[in-house]
Structure 1
């Protein structure tokens, strides 16, 4: 990318849906747009060209090959809407042209004295300016004026009057459109407020289609009744969802699958287990079980896990992923013994979160986090200060919600580092000096910290130490691609970055020991090493021979996942072709595709000469490694267990089945970037509470706060965050055998005291 390009925030005033899928940069006076999926730059054509690019529509832009299917469909629908609007404009222009051709002056428009019905909400322009006797007040050539006097032939003043008329009418139409939008928005708001629905319901992919369906029906639409929604509509939805689930199940024989066991506690104190099945096609919800009475029993958990594996089909399941509590470890290992062809695996995201938790306990890091929190707590409790910060940061927030509370600590430090210069510019500005909050203790402390070079140096170092772990957490929790082929490389990169930053062994071993302590359970899972081995992007970037531990764990997977010894022997022979890049593996196309195709696609395309290895590679590389990202939200599963009527319990069970799977369905191919949220909203409290909670506010301070005076956050802050494709940052090259050896022998140096 050109070093002269400066990122420009995309404000909330830009309403075109394509703005959410691009970044804006400025090079001098020229503005360029960049696709967030393929990173292609567009130096002209504006947002419409980006939309054509994403929609795959032939025109002035090339087609994006990496755009998710749901985004492509959305852009195609948006372009169709543009065509409809363009036709309407053409029709209006034709009618205005026809009106001019009549040759009459429209003097009433010339003086801007148009009688407009204030109650007008949405009126076709053609109906407003329909020519009639009252408007045909004169002719250009020898016409008779309203007063009865004959005008001279020649050029009239009607053209200028008509221009004024058109401008005025456009303004009136824009005003009418705004009134319509305000009316619709208020109606939606009142409905959501009345029923107490979560406000992020508008982020559902089903929200806009619902609105479109209602609008397309016009005044003839009849709203469904309470009984309709409980009856026929629910029946149809359940059948529709079951059809989708059946399609997923049909792929499990080829790609294999992972059983996910998600434990969560309800407000009423119940402990529920949700069982989901992951495959490269997506995630499906099977059922939920109230485990309150036996959650601490490894025997009961084993029996339940065994039952679910049999329901899914043991021949399809490669792994069962759970939390890391002791009872799950015991039940999981027993399950693995009972089913020799599957693994028990702890949640990788949970392991990474515990690593970040222990990093935050280290003395100097904890001090920096608390210093940064003192800044954000002051900013986010005073509307005047928050508005000023957003003004200087072009609408960006200085906190960034991570996937977990501990990830938020380090994601926010990185965000503050990215905004360092703008924050310093604010606290040294005359505007800040004149602000009464600058004299408050919190304001003075913020000035001291933002002007302290030692504080910023520590923030930068912490960011460099933890950013690879945050990147891996996003990869293993994401929905863009199966994570199994990237976990091993991600841990390698995390250790490599720490070693490069700290250099001295005594310094970096503190952090390596924390990683090894929590990653020990993952080291017992050969799937990660096998995923690394089978990912051509990483495998062919290794200089010299493959590390023995990686090859050994690959053989472990072959022996466990392929019970037929004759097939095992065939796979061993085929591995040599892969290692030597023989046949199609060595084609120039295959070499280029190592970096461009997903690993599964690469094997499907170029692995024809090694059918047995291809089948195994596809099954391993199609798996996830985490539970995070599939949490239920606003789905009232607990209602099932509070209902005493068996018929209603069945209905609620089907409702939960449909709700959960509809929620999971929209995650497939969805843009990884979180929907823009307000950091002070209740929806953000679990991740951001430590960063935005009030700090020693007086009664006078409360009186001076006004949420209605707040400016909204920016709609698009991607240029401040991580790059869209996290995997690209894993790069290539794995030469540090010290890291490989530590990944093998992590049990030797478990952490004792990290504080």
Structure 2
């Protein structure tokens, strides 16, 4: 029987059952099913939502079976092609890679035995598959945007200087439902111009909706960017402006290295690492005698690498001591050199190890804050103040437990960065409204926290600020105590929507914001840089714009902060970054210095990371 000639309506009749519902009756076995679509499966003998027909003629059965399986095969090929496209768009690979024999072999190896599908072409990837991906991503972005009115959102700026000296910037938007890529811009023409940057920021606010935006988080601590932020807060009374929290925490750590004894500890640790990794004698000794021991700790967050490595060196003290006391070391030519003797003496010096331990203990609490910021996509505005306060208290206790009284110096270095770049009334309000803390025995009822709440109400609440203040005074914080379990602080407040709707909405918007900036997501920038390179046709430019839109949003959609993201472009590699000191000549303005980049010691100033970096001294 010809598939084109078969019509399902010839093989069943419409009937009405005892419940007055319309159904279809099989002409062969008299069974009733819901609709002609299910009748096809009934006649084709395909089990699922309907039982097979036992009386259908073989040719009819074969014809409907072929029709259904043909459509399934077509749908399967289409879905596979779309999946292949998604892989290329997310990874940013050249479409020509689809022609490689090895890629096609890998593709075919995933198919079931006997399964055949149409292999997508380069033109498919540039054509219908891309347009389908754009449409699908637009629906996703629209869904995310629909939540902004309820939770508010944070605009995240991600700026860098590319190899051509252009100042480019990605604009992302964060909310609890997800982070999306909005667009990118070339701001070279008004770089370092606060007034022009203010105009640019206002354009973004209009695009996102001023009424939706709670804060803008910048990628730079430069004076001109901060000036633009201050101008923004003066002109847009409902919006906060702050700096990427991870960047600020990295600056705090760098500030601590300006304290002599911490800087000296890191400098000696760096000397030790470079000595061991730059000589085959020590490398072989370490690996042969102590297999599995790695001294350098890599991380996707560059700023914390020196301090994690210092902590690791302390934990491997016994290994290193035995290594330099071993006969293999003593009989090596390296042991008789002045450099080898100096390192061996340092390993035997108890004061060096004491300094290593103390420097690690003082810096690791801040490292933990950075790891917290980078380890979650959940809102952080209600937690950051307490996290930093607890880190400072741990540092203070480390000094007291050793009967030392110099924690004020480290506190001052931390507060210097906190107050200059990261402090925000929004964070104080977030702490005050966070149920995780106002039930705590060590609740911080400080004037700074209360003042932050009042200023946040004044900025965000507008004409209902008096009502919200009244509801805060009326709200029974103690009486509303409940176990939070796995719900977020913002979700906790949703329980009080009916009784205190204005306070609830205010609390939800505050507690739904992040503190970390766009650097958290480590977006790949190559396609964006290509997008802002002139010289292509209008059609090609639009296609590239679509590719960037899909590429960046797929990266954001699939980003897992707790997963293995060490394949990111900016992850520190032990050999390249630490030992060989190989670095790009041009770095982004929000880059954070690695150990190899640092000038340690209180008498040396920090280099500006936006400038071309010099090669390390031999």
Please give the TM-score of this superposition, normalised by the length of structure 2: 0.70
Partner of 1:268: 164
Partner of 1:412: 309
Q: Give the secondary-structure state (helix, strand or coil) at the position aligned to 2:214.
A: strand
Q: Choose from 527, 542, 546 the match for 1:654.
A: 546
Partner of 2:491: 601
* Aligned-partner Cα distance in 2 for 1:303–1:686: 40
* Structure 1 stretch displaced more, 214-223 or 314-323: 214-223
Equivalent residues of 1:402, 1:687 under 8 A apart? no
Q: Give the secondary-structure state (helix, strand or coil) at the position aligned to 2:184.
A: strand
Q: Counterparts in 2 of 1:615-626, with a 5 A limit?
A: 615-626=505-516
* Aligned-partner Cα distance in 1 for 2:224–2:531: 26
Please give the TM-score of this superposition, normalised by the length of structure 1: 0.58
Q: Per-residue deviation at 1:438?
A: 5.2
* 1:521 paired to 2:420: yes
* 1:258 paired to 2:154: yes
Partner of 1:554: 453
* Aligned-partner Cα distance in 2 for 1:488–1:348: 11
* 1:353 paired to 2:244: no
* Aligned-partner Cα distance in 2 for 1:666–1:359: 35
Partner of 1:292: 188
Q: Give the secondary-structure state (helix, strand or coil) at the position aligned to 2:110.
A: helix
Q: Per-residue deviation at 1:362?
A: 2.3
* 1:319 paired to 2:215: yes
* 1:334 paired to 2:231: yes
Q: Counterparts in 2 of 1:655-670, with a 5 A limit?
A: 655-667=547-559, 669-670=560-561
Q: Give the secondary-structure state (helix, strand or coil) at the position aligned to 2:462.
A: coil
Q: Per-residue deviation at 1:391?
A: 5.9
Equivalent residues of 2:158, 2:170 under 8 A apart? yes
* Aligned-partner Cα distance in 2 for 1:428–1:373: 21
Partner of 1:635: 526
List gaps (5 residues or longer) in structure 1: 1-191, 202-207, 696-751
* Aligned-partner Cα distance in 1 for 2:343–2:404: 35
Equivalent residues of 2:299, 2:566 under 8 A apart? no
Aligned pair in 2 of structure 1 residues 222, 448: CA closer, same or farther (>3 Å)?
farther
Q: Per-residue deviation at 1:599?
A: 2.0
Q: Counterparts in 2 of 1:29-428, with a 5 A limit?
A: 215-216=110-111, 220-322=116-218, 323-382=220-279, 385-386=282-283, 388-390=285-287, 395-402=292-299, 404-428=301-325
Q: Deviations over 1:22-51 (max 9, x none)?
A: xxxxxxxxxxxxxxxxxxxxxxxxxxxxxx
* Aligned-partner Cα distance in 2 for 1:753–1:683: 29
Equivalent residues of 2:252, 2:414 under 8 A apart? yes
Partner of 1:541: 440
* Aligned-partner Cα distance in 2 for 1:214–1:651: 31
* Aligned-partner Cα distance in 2 for 1:753–1:535: 42
Q: Give the secondary-structure state (helix, strand or coil) at the position aligned to 1:558.
A: helix
* Aligned-partner Cα distance in 1 for 2:444–2:92: 61
Q: Per-residue deviation at 1:597?
A: 4.0
Partner of 1:58: none
Q: Choose from 692, 698, 722 the match for 2:579.
A: 692
Equivalent residues of 2:180, 2:553 under 8 A apart? yes
Equivalent residues of 1:466, 1:494 under 8 A apart? no
Equivalent residues of 1:483, 1:623 under 8 A apart? yes
* Aligned-partner Cα distance in 2 for 1:437–1:694: 22
* Aligned-partner Cα distance in 2 for 1:453–1:505: 18
Aligned pair in 2 of structure 1 residues 563, 753: CA closer, same or farther (>3 Å)?
farther
* Aligned-partner Cα distance in 2 for 1:506–1:457: 16
* Aligned-partner Cα distance in 1 for 2:242–2:116: 55
* Aligned-partner Cα distance in 1 for 2:290–2:92: 33
* Aligned-partner Cα distance in 1 for 2:346–2:529: 47
Aligned pair in 2 of structure 1 residues 683, 520: CA closer, same or farther (>3 Å)?
closer
Partner of 1:563: 462
* Aligned-partner Cα distance in 2 for 1:601–1:383: 57
Q: Choose from 358, 361, 364 the match for 1:464.
A: 361
Q: Per-residue deviation at 1:558?
A: 1.6
* Aligned-partner Cα distance in 1 for 2:581–2:168: 33
Aligned pair in 2 of structure 1 residues 480, 630: CA closer, same or farther (>3 Å)?
closer
Aligned pair in 2 of structure 1 residues 338, 399: CA closer, same or farther (>3 Å)?
same
Partner of 2:562: 671
Equivalent residues of 1:635, 1:656 under 8 A apart? no
Q: Per-residue deviation at 1:260?
A: 0.9
Aligned pair in 2 of structure 1 residues 753, 427: CA closer, same or farther (>3 Å)?
closer
* Aligned-partner Cα distance in 2 for 1:230–1:404: 35
Q: Per-residue deviation at 1:378?
A: 2.7
Equivalent residues of 2:256, 2:414 under 8 A apart? no
Q: Deviations over 1:668-711 (max 9, x none)?
A: x542555489xxxx96558876631279xxxxxxxxxxxxxxxx
Q: Give the secondary-structure state (helix, strand or coil) at the position aligned to 1:642.
A: coil
Q: Give the secondary-structure state (helix, strand or coil) at the position aligned to 2:514.
A: coil
Q: Per-residue deviation at 1:648?
A: 1.1
Aligned pair in 2 of structure 1 residues 648, 470: CA closer, same or farther (>3 Å)?
same
* Aligned-partner Cα distance in 2 for 1:687–1:310: 44
* Structure 1 stretch displaced more, 498-507 or 455-464: 498-507
Q: Give the secondary-structure state (helix, strand or coil) at the position aligned to 1:216.
A: coil
Q: Give the secondary-structure state (helix, strand or coil) at the position aligned to 1:260.
A: strand
Partner of 1:451: 348
Aligned pair in 2 of structure 1 residues 328, 429: CA closer, same or farther (>3 Å)?
same
Aligned pair in 2 of structure 1 residues 449, 624: CA closer, same or farther (>3 Å)?
same
* Aligned-partner Cα distance in 1 for 2:284–2:144: 47
Equivalent residues of 2:176, 2:513 under 8 A apart? yes
Number of paired residues? 483
Q: Counterparts in 2 of 1:706-721, with a 5 A limit?
A: none
